[in-house]
Amino acid sequence: MAGLLGLAACGGGNQTPSGTQATGAAGGDSKKQVEVFSWWTGPGEADGLKAMREIFEKQNTQFTFFDAAVAGGSGDKAKALLKTKLDGNQPPDTFQGHAGAELQGYIKDGKLEPLNSLYDELKLKDVFPAQLIEQISVDGQIYSVPVNIHRSNVLWFNPAILKEAGLAGAPKSIDEFIAALEKVKATGKIPLSIGSEWTVAHLLENVMLGSMGTDAYNALFKPGGNWAGPEVTTALQKFAKIMEYAGDPQDDWQPAAKQVADGQAAFNIMGDWAYGYFHNPPDGGLGKASKTDFDWAPSPGTEGTYMWLSDSFTLPKGAKNRDGALAWLKVAASKEGQDAFNPKKGSIPARKDADTSLYTDYLADALKDWGGNKLAGSIQHGVSVSQPHLAAIGEAVGLFMGTKDVAGLQKALDDAAKANIQ
């Protein structure tokens, strides 16, 4: 249904979710529709969006919120539809994007309005971390409002299966991880659950970081980064070995994570949005108990490093309801909006002044680590690579899943870097 709504929003009917026409005409009770385009349709993320929507509607009674979300983890399907809308000069009023290199293509193509005046009005430079402001700025212009900070490098695991396999705890290194996968295999349980193709690319970035170390990993995304080097070769060989223990690919990240929570699989490497899915009550999540039904640790080899990403919202040029979009951006930037959204989403706030008492259990760990860890940018989630570069990486990973050819994967990754990193 969410996918159909997203497609409907692309057409000319301009329908509200209830199916009534939103004309915005003067007189009567008609309201102007605000089309908010995202890929938040799953448990946890949809709950967070709903909480922020309620604040928006309470504060802006002159507008009607239209949820134009498109299903599909990591936003691959949503981004493809968004490109069609932008190329056809039919932008949504605002759309979700990952802060960092992912937005550069939109900026270069002249699809986004800068938001410096909004930042000045709301004094956002005082409440967002300086490094985050730097990542979302191009030539001094700011083009998005970050709602949160996510961690990409999290190992989720089932404590009971680890105990059954004779494992004392989460593996610390890549080599320990491979040994742990072998022990789980001997129990008859799925050693590692995976979802659709993008979750395998997500796994790849974690293995590369865990194998290479933070500095060598970060250097790959700078001009002259050596994707053909021996450190990358070793990382890809370990990735190939780990993939030998993966179960059948699930439709997306949620069913793959559920295999861990249900005691079918031992491990899953996924971002911390999985916490909301594991933890939230059954009407929006799995209602599982942390440290009992599921547990977490930094993905193997990455302790002390925070592989980060940030969901943000933009102001497209030519938005039909620009005022409504700005009203949404103000909610997304606000302390109230971020504190309503993030505990349900399973992320921490982008703002430095959020109510820390709301962030407990896993989220308390994330807040602490964000303040003291080294930082590495996610590949799959738009911090380190542009969308064309990510598409090339996704294609390379998809081919590898069929061929298992490590040398071919490395050559494809090296070619992608040479074509996209200037």
Residue 40 contacts residue 3 (beta carbons within 8 Å): no
For the segment 106-129, what is each residue's pLDDT rounded down to a tens digit? 999 999 999 999 999 999 999 998
Q: How many CB atoms lie within 10 A of CB 361?
A: 13
What's residue 18's pLDDT? 32
Least confident of 84-88, 98-102, 252-256: 98-102
| Among 164, 169, 170, residue whose Cα is nearest residue 183 | 164
Kind plus residue range of the DSSP H or E element containing 33: strand 32-37
Crossing angle for the helix pair 230-243 and 406-420, to the nearest 10 degrees: 130
pLDDT tens digits along 171-196: 999 999 999 999 999 999 999 999 99
pLDDT at 344: 87
Whether the pLDDT of residue 23 is over 50: the answer is no
Residue 52 pLDDT exceeds 50: yes
Give the per-residue pLDDT at 396: 98
**Chain segment 412-421, per-residue pLDDT in tens:** 999 999 999 9
CA distances from 248 to 53, 152, 193, 224, 255 (A): 36, 22, 7, 37, 11
Give me the chain's average pLDDT, please: 90
Phi-psi region of 128 (alpha: psi -120 to 50; beta: other; left: phi over 0): beta
CATH number 3.40.190.10 is the correct assignment for the domain at 2-149+312-370: yes
- Which candidate, 387, 239, 209, 421, places its Cα nearest to that of 395? 387
Residue 29 DSSP code: T
Q: What is the pTM of this model?
A: 0.81
pLDDT at 14 over 70: no
**Of 325, 314, 324, the residue nearest 145 (C-alpha):** 314
Q: What is the pLDDT of residue 24?
A: 43
Confidence category of residue 152, pLDDT binned at 50, 70, 90: very high
CB neighbour burial string for 165-199, b if at least 16 within 10 angstroms, e if fewer:
bebeebbeebeebbebbebbbeeebbbbbbbbbbb
Q: What is the pLDDT of residues 215-249, one digit of tens each?
A: 999 999 999 999 999 999 999 999 999 999 999 99
> For residue 38, what pLDDT band results from cuts at 50, 70 and 90?
very high
**pLDDT value for 267:** 98
Q: Which of 208, 168, 195 is nearest to 305 (CA)?
A: 208
> Is 263 within 8 Å of 193 (Cβ atoms)?
no
CA distance linking residue 418 with residue 241, whole number of Å: 26
The pLDDT value given to residue 73: 66
Q: What is the pLDDT of residues 159-175, one digit of tens each?
A: 999 999 999 999 999 99
User: Per-residue pLDDT averaged across 276-294, rounded?
Assistant: 90
3 state SS of 63: strand
Report the pLDDT value the prediction gives residue 12, as an integer from 0 to 100: 32
Strands 154-157 and 265-270: antiparallel
Could you tell me which residues are beta bridge partners of residue 150?
309
Q: pLDDT value at position 19?
A: 32
Listed range (45-59, 73-87, 229-243, 329-343) with the worst mean pLDDT: 73-87
- Strand-pairing partners, residue 165, are none
CATH architecture for the domain at 151-307+376-420: 3-Layer(aba) Sandwich (3.40)
pLDDT confidence tier of residue 74, bands split at 50, 70 and 90 = low
Q: Can you list the alpha helix ranges (DSSP code H) found in 264-385?
A: 273-279, 322-333, 335-345, 362-372
pLDDT at 95: 97
What pLDDT is stored for residue 101 in this prediction?
Answer: 87
Residues 104, 285: Cα–Cα separation, whole Å: 34
How high is the pLDDT of residue 88? Answer: 94
| Helix, strand, coil abundance in the chain, percent, nearest 5 | 50, 15, 35
* For range 42-71, the mean pLDDT: 94
Encode pLDDT of 240-280 as tens digits: 999 999 999 999 999 999 999 999 999 999 999 899 889 88
| Residues sharing a CB contact under 8 Å with residue 206, sequence separation 6 or more, in sequence order | 152, 153, 269, 299, 300, 302, 307
Q: Where are the domains of the chain?
A: 2-149+312-370, 151-307+376-420
User: Do the domains 151-307+376-420 and 2-149+312-370 match in fold?
Assistant: yes
Confidence check: pLDDT of 10 > 60:
no
| Cα 400 to chain centroid, rounded | 23
Burial label, 344 (beta-carbon count in 10 A; 0-12, 13-18, 19+): buried
Measured between alpha carbons, how far is 87 from 390 in angstroms, rounded to an integer? 19
